[in-house]
Every structure is written in structure tokens, then in C-alpha cells.
């Protein structure tokens, strides 16, 4: 198991122990067990999704709709809302969700009358800057300040049952007791991990700390690399593993990264979304963090070999061990060094998430089938670029980050 809550990670950063010292510590001891809220009917639920225009957010809106939950979105512009509404309609989600226009530059998040949102029972935070090569300030503003703003918004909702936050499988499980971080701690974490991962580490701790302080009931999901829908393969996200799949497709990968124990786990976006919809109605999930990923994901070189064979392209015969990859200059790896921390043999505490899914009858889709459907979808959609140069969600594809084999 990787050390998300104690000991030094591959980055050398010491990650904090949980205050309750629980193994895999995903559910606080006094909250263990199956405590689904009795009698919460879907029609009594009203969800508000921050980051609804993103990859995870869009699929979450679909999953909530399919579960019969009334769902509204929080978006940053009319244009992004219109694109989202069109995408949702194209996926059978009707009617278009009510929308809250938010400005993360405003401490209250919105200039609108918030009493209109008093019936919201669950808030999901899928908003965040998910990209590499940011400055620390940029990453903190988006991922740490964003979390503070969403918690403050949630704290004002009189009927709130749960705030569900998307953290990450290599950043979750931080110790809220260390918030606020000292300048020295912040400097060392950001230096060791790079801006994206460090800001997510800090945000994980801040979310727990400020939500506890404000009396906001929370749950956190720590997904691994999120791949396309398990049935259609659909995904327009081109970071990390997807860019390695593209390299395989183009025959441009000189050597397979990692070895037999290099574990870059995946989870399909629809499984993750459905899992998230379960958290607000499961009392045992309050103040719990859940690692959501498929333990059966093949080791990275095997995963890429599987995809290469499926595409019918040459499998690179050479392998580059991770320690060597880390020493190679960027002009050779053509990979943002921030992404290399994800190349690891760590394993993750998935037991509680698997148990929660099982309790609610949610089965993990077959990982090989899902990977190949995703690979097919990526290739069929020219890795996010149709002939107009726009990606599947209508965004300009020029900002793509060639980010190596990792999320």
C-alpha cells in the first residue's frame, strides 16, 4: 500500500498520519458500518454540482439524473453552461439543469440571491484546475481557494446532507490538523510534488479542516486516472495515460515506461460518478475518504502492450525503469516531470470503497474491456481533435498537455 497517510512517499514528502490512526483510514471508527439514511427518496434529493462542465462533473450530472435526483449545475460562464446543456441533452439528460453562475474570484462565489438554493441537499465539488505546468500561485488559487469557497457556500445551505469533494488517489488522506500549513511546509511540498499535485494535497487537508470547522458534513473521493465510460468508452480527457495511449497509437513510444510492479490504476468515469451519487445517502460515508480505482488494472507496461496489440501496432520492445526515467532530461522523455511522481508501485486502500459499492449493489466493470473501449473511443475521435480542432466537449484542443503516462 502506498503511504498516503504516513511515511515518505516516492516524492520524499512525509505524508501525515490520520488523527484516528485507522488503517486505510477511509471511514472514521464511529462511522463504520452500513448506515444508509433510511427513507431518503431520490425525489427528496437536490444536488448542485460545481465543476459540472468538466469530465467528471458532466458524467456525475448524468448519473444523478439517472438516479432520479434533481440536479443543478454551477458554471463559470454562459457559454460553458450552454455547451454543457447541449452535451447533456445529447446524452438523454432532460430537462436542462438549473444553473448557478459562479465566480471563484468572489469570496461568496456568486452575486445571486443564494436563498434560491436553500433546498439543495448535496453539493459536489468537481471543480479544479487539472493540468501540469502551473505556477504554485495559480494552482493554489484554483484548487485550494476554490475548496474554501465551495465549503463556505455549502455551510450556508440549511438542508445540506453532504458535501462530496473530488481529491485524488495520490493526494487523499491528508491530516486536517496541520491546516493552516506553515510556509516552510508549503514550500517543501510544492517543491517536491509540483504545483498540481501539491495544491491537491493541500486542498485535501483544507477541505477536511474548514468543513469540520464550519460543521459541513463531507465525504471525499480519491479517484485514480479516470478513463472513458465503461460501455461507450467516451472520454475527452487527454491528459496522462491518454497521451501514452496516443503515443502507442502513433507508434511514437520508443520504450514502455516502468516495470512489472508499476501501477497506474484506472477507474471508469461512469463507475466513479455512480459511486459519488451513493455517498450522500450513506450515513457511514460521512467524514470518510474513499479510494476509487480498479485494483485489477494491469501493470503499466502490460496495459500499454494490451492497447498496442488491440490497435494492431508494434509493441515497443524496450523498457525504461522508473528510476532511469526520472533521471532523463525532459527533451528525451518529452514528459512534464510533474507527471513522473505517478509512476509508482504503491497500492491503495480500496477496501472501504469496494465495500460501500458492494453494499449498494454497484459492480466495478471489467477493466480490460473498459480500457479497450476507451482506447477505441480515443482513436476514433482522433485523440480529442475532430477536423475543427475542437475536442469532444467543444473546447479548444490547443491547451493539451503532453503529460506522459500518468493522471
Query: What phi and psi, each to the nearest 5 degrees, are found at residue 24?
Result: 70, -5
| Residue number with CB closer to ligand NAP (56 or 320) | 56
In the complex, minimum distance from the CB of residue 137 to ligand NAP, in angstroms, rounded to a whole number: 12
Spell out the residues 6+ positions from residue 42 whose beta carbon is closer than 8 angstroms to its own: 67, 68, 69
Query: Does residue 265 touch ligand NAP according to CB under 6 A?
Result: no
In the complex, minimum distance from the CB of residue 52 to ligand NAP, in angstroms, rounded to a whole number: 6
For ligand NAP, which residue of 186, 200, 287, 373 counts as binding (CB under 6 A)? 200
* Dihedral sign for Cα atoms in the order 372, 373, 374, 376: positive
Query: Does residue 392 touch ligand NAP according to CB under 6 A?
Result: no
Q: Which residues of 172-209 are buried (b: 16+ CB within 10 A; e: fewer)?
A: bbbbbeebebeeeebebbbebbbbbbbbbbbbbbbbbb
In the complex, minimum distance from the CB of residue 404 to ligand NAP, in angstroms, rounded to a whole number: 13
Are the CB atoms for 196 and 134 separated by under 8 Å? yes
Q: For residue 50, give the 3-state DSSP assignment.
A: strand
Q: Contacts with ligand NAP in 47-86 (CB under 6 A)?
A: 51, 53-57, 76, 80
- Measured CA to CA, the distance from residue 293 to residue 269 in angstroms comes to 10
If binding means CB under 6 A, how many residues of this protein chain bind ligand NAP? 24
- CA-nearest of 295, 302, 236 to 269 is 236
Are the CB atoms for 256 and 300 separated by under 8 Å? yes
| Residue number with CB closer to ligand NAP (316 or 407) | 407
- Measured CA to CA, the distance from residue 404 to residue 76 in angstroms comes to 29
Q: Contacts with ligand NAP in 4-43 (CB under 6 A)?
A: none
Mask for 101-130, x = binds ligand NAP (CB under 6 A): ---x---------------------xxxxx
Query: Does residue 278 touch ligand NAP according to CB under 6 A?
Result: no
Q: Could you tell me which stretch among 218-226, 297-305, 322-330, 340-348 binds ligand NAP (CB under 6 A)? A: 218-226
Query: Does residue 233 touch ligand NAP according to CB under 6 A?
Result: no
Query: Does residue 194 touch ligand NAP according to CB under 6 A?
Result: no
The CA–CA distances, whole Å, from 156 to 69, 149, 218 equal 21, 11, 14
Q: Rg of the chain over CA atoms, in angstroms?
A: 20
For ligand NAP, which residue of 26, 69, 193, 226 counts as binding (CB under 6 A)? 226
| Residue number with CB closer to ligand NAP (203 or 320) | 203
Are the CB atoms for 265 and 294 separated by under 8 Å? yes
For ligand NAP, which residue of 24, 97, 288, 407 counts as binding (CB under 6 A)? 407
In the complex, minimum distance from the CB of residue 201 to ligand NAP, in angstroms, rounded to a whole number: 11
Mask for 146-165, x = binds ligand NAP (CB under 6 A): x-------------------
Mask for 279-318, x = binds ligand NAP (CB under 6 A): ----------------------------------------
- CA-nearest of 393, 63, 375 to 232 is 375
Are the CB atoms for 336 and 240 separated by under 8 Å? no
Q: Which residues bind ligand NAP (CB under 6 A)?
A: 51, 53-57, 76, 80, 104, 126-130, 142, 146, 166, 168, 200, 223, 225-226, 237, 407
Amino acid at each position: 500500500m502506498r503511504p498516503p497517510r504516513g511515511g515518505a512517499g516516492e516524492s520524499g514528502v512525509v505524508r501525515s498520519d490520520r488523527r484516528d490512526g485507522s488503517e486505510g483510514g477511509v471511514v472514521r471508527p464511529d462511522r463504520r458500518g452500513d448506515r444508509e439514511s433510511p427513507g431518503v427518496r431520490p425525489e427528496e434529493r437536490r444536488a448542485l454540482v460545481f465543476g459540472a462542465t468538466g469530465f467528471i462533473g458532466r458524467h456525475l450530472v448524468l448519473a444523478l439524473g439517472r438516479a432520479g435526483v434533481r440536479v443543478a449545475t454551477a458554471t463559470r460562464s454562459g457559454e460553458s453552461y450552454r455547451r454543457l446543456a447541449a452535451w447533456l441533452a445529447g446524452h438523454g439528460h432532460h430537462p436542462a439543469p438549473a444553473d448557478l453562475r459562479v465566480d471563484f474570484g468572489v469570496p461568496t462565489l456568486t452575486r445571486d440571491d443564494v436563498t434560491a438554493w436553500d433546498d439543495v441537499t448535496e453539493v459536489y465539488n468537481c471543480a479544479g484546475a487539472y493540468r501540469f505546468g502551473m505556477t504554485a500561485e495559480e494552482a493554489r488559487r484554483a484548487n485550494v481557494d476554490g475548496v474554501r469557497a465551495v465549503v463556505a457556500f455549502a455551510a450556508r445551505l440549511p438542508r445540506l446532507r453532504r458535501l462530496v469533494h473530488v481529491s485524488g488517489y495520490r493526494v487523499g488522506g491528508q491530516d486536517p490538523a496541520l491546516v493552516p500549513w506553515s510556509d516552510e511546509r508549503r514550500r517543501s511540498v510544492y517543491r517536491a510534488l509540483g504545483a498540481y499535485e501539491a495544491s491537491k494535497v493541500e486542498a485535501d487537508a483544507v477541505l477536511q479542516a474548514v468543513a469540520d470547522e464550519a460543521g459541513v458534513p463531507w465525504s471525499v473521493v480519491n479517484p485514480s486516472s479516470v478513463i472513458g465510460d465503461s460501455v461507450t468508452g467516451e472520454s475527452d480527457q487527454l491528459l496522462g495515460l491518454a497521451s501514452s495511449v496516443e503515443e502507442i497509437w502513433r507508434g511514437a513510444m520508443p520504450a514502455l515506461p516502468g516495470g512489472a510492479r508499476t501501477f497506474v490504476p484506472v477507474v471508469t468515469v461512469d463507475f466513479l460518478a455512480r459511486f459519488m451519487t451513493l455517498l450522500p445517502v450513506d450515513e457511514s460515508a460521512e467524514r470518510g475518504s474513499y479510494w476509487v480505482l480498479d485494483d485489477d488494472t494491469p501493470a503499466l507496461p502490460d496495459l500499454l502492450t494490451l492497447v498496442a496489440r488491440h490497435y494492431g501496432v508494434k509493441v515497443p520492445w524496450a523498457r525504461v525503469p522508473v528510476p532511469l526515467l526520472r533521471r532523463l532530461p525532459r527533451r528525451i522523455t518529452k514528459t512534464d516531470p510533474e507527471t513522473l511522481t505517478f509512476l509508482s508501485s504503491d497500492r491503495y486502500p480500496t477496501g472501504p470503497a469496494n465495500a460501500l459499492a458492494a453494499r449498494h449493489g454497484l459492480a466495478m466493470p471489467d477493466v480490460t474491456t473498459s480500457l479497450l473501449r476507451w482506447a477505441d473511443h480515443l482513436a476514433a475521435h482522433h485523440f480529442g481533435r475532430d477536423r475543427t480542432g475542437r475536442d469532444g466537449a467543444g473546447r479548444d484542443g490547443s491547451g493539451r498537455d503532453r503529460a506522459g503516462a500518468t493522471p
